[in-house]
Amino acid sequence: MRAVRLNGISGLRHGRRRARTFPGWWPLALQALLVVLAALCYFGVRGLTRSRAGPAEDHARGILALERDLLIDRERWLQETVIGHDTLVDAANAVYMYGHWPVIAITLAVLFARAPDRYWLLRNAMFASGAIGLVIFALYPVAPPRLGILDIVDTVTQRTEVYRTLQPPGLINRYAAMPSLHFGWNLILGVVVWTSTRNLFLRVFAVAMPIAMGLAVVATGNHYVVDVAGGAVVALTGLAVARALPAVIPVPRWARPPASR
């Protein structure tokens, strides 16, 4: 069977090949269970931090002081650059709202069905970096700029109610600005997609999506510049862990590259 990388993520064309590639319903059910467990861990950390507004604001001011020292405090400048242009604000909001979970879910679904070995890599990278992120969220809560730390507008709430309706503030961790996994997970998704295909369109997307997300999370008032850098470090660390994991834990047969099954 030809490797998926030769023809892009959707390169397996024939029904019989797809049937052989799809891992099966039991592995799929297990992935759903793991997602539920990860969500429970997230809500557990949220419960630990939701009453820590004071420390979260102090940490945010510390991040701003660091950015001023490094001359990278560009949050206000970036928002002021886009705020007078409705098209740019709408684009930033759209990237923030629809360029993260919908893109991640679709990519994981396609990889699971068509290239399970690449799905396995991305899934493990997200779990590893997510675990690191949860520890940081619990130990070092940070209030985002939109909560009044800077004179910055919450453009997502101001321009559309869709996102805050789909993800009510009562269900999210308000003090999880550092690191920005919104950016970090899009970054490693881009890395995995790039290395999984030679399709020009998909490779352009793999590069453009993290860049757009990095700009959007700052322009919308949800993250600081340092959060983006922190998200990159945490996510790439998770990817390194995922790459090293097969040397420690055997990869299930369904998640192995086609040539080694």
- What the block records as the tokens of 66 is 């660091």
Instruction: Supply the pLDDT for residue 10.
Output: 45
Closest alpha carbon to 256 in 33, 3, 10, 40: 3
200-218 pLDDT, tens digit each? 999 999 999 999 999 999 9
Closest alpha carbon to 24 in 254, 251, 253: 254
* pTM, full prediction: 0.87
Distance of alpha carbon 230 from alpha carbon 221, whole angstroms: 16
Q: What is the DSSP letter of 250?
A: P
Which has more confidence, 50 or 67?
Answer: 67
Kindly indicate the confidence band of residue 11, based on its pLDDT and cuts at 50, 70 and 90.
very low
Share of the chain above pLDDT 70, in %: 85
Cis peptide before 168 (omega within 30 of 0): no
Closest alpha carbon to 111 in 255, 261, 260, 217: 255
155-181 pLDDT, tens digit each? 998 887 777 666 666 667 789 899 999
Q: Would you say residue 5 has pLDDT above 80?
A: no
Strand partners, 195: none
Query: For residue 115, is it left (φ>0), alpha (ψ between -120 and 50) or beta?
Result: beta
Q: Would you say residue 20 has pLDDT above 60?
A: no
Q: Would you say residue 139 has pLDDT above 80?
A: yes
Instruction: Supply the pLDDT for residue 46.
Output: 64
- What the block records as the tokens of 18 is 């797809």
Closest alpha carbon to 184 in 142, 226, 214: 214
Q: Would you say residue 87 has pLDDT above 80?
A: yes
Closest alpha carbon to 120 in 37, 199, 23, 41: 23
Determine the 3-state secondary structure of 176 from DSSP.
strand
